[in-house]
Amino acid sequence: MNIVMMLKNERQTYPECCCEDMREALSDSEHPIYYSSAFQEFGLQLSSGFEYSILKYCNWCGTKLPKSRRDAWFDSLEKLGIDPWGNDIPIKYLSSSWLE
């Protein structure tokens, strides 16, 4: 199990979903499904409210979910000389824009 912190001030966007059930769950606040556009990963939100457990497969249709871009995100910031824990994170790194 891989529990990670949510990215503070992340710009929320909706991803392409594997199925209608996933799409519904993401748009329904009663479902603890989280999508990080910056990291391109799906997660199960924990009761702390700022952490989630990364999901590898869709809970409803069983599709393998996209590979997280978390490591590449940190590598890319490091190359720019930005410490994500100490510096302000450039706005394009708060969504999927950094991948474009």
One-letter amino acid for residue 86 of the chain = G
Cβ 65 to Zn ion shortest distance, Å: 8
Cβ 61 to Zn ion shortest distance, Å: 3
| Binding of Zn ion by 61 (CB under 5 A) | yes
Chosen residue from 4, 19, 44, 77 binding Zn ion by CB under 5 A: 19
Cβ 60 to Zn ion shortest distance, Å: 5
Give phi and psi for 74, each to the nearest 5.
-65, -40
- Neighbouring C-alpha atoms within 13 Å toward the C-beta of 26: 22
Number of residues that bind Zn ion (CB under 5 A): 7
Indicate the burial class of 70 (C-beta count within 10 angstroms; 0-12, 13-18, 19 or more).
middle
Footprint on this chain of Zn ion (rule: CB under 5 A) = 18-19, 22, 58, 60-61, 63
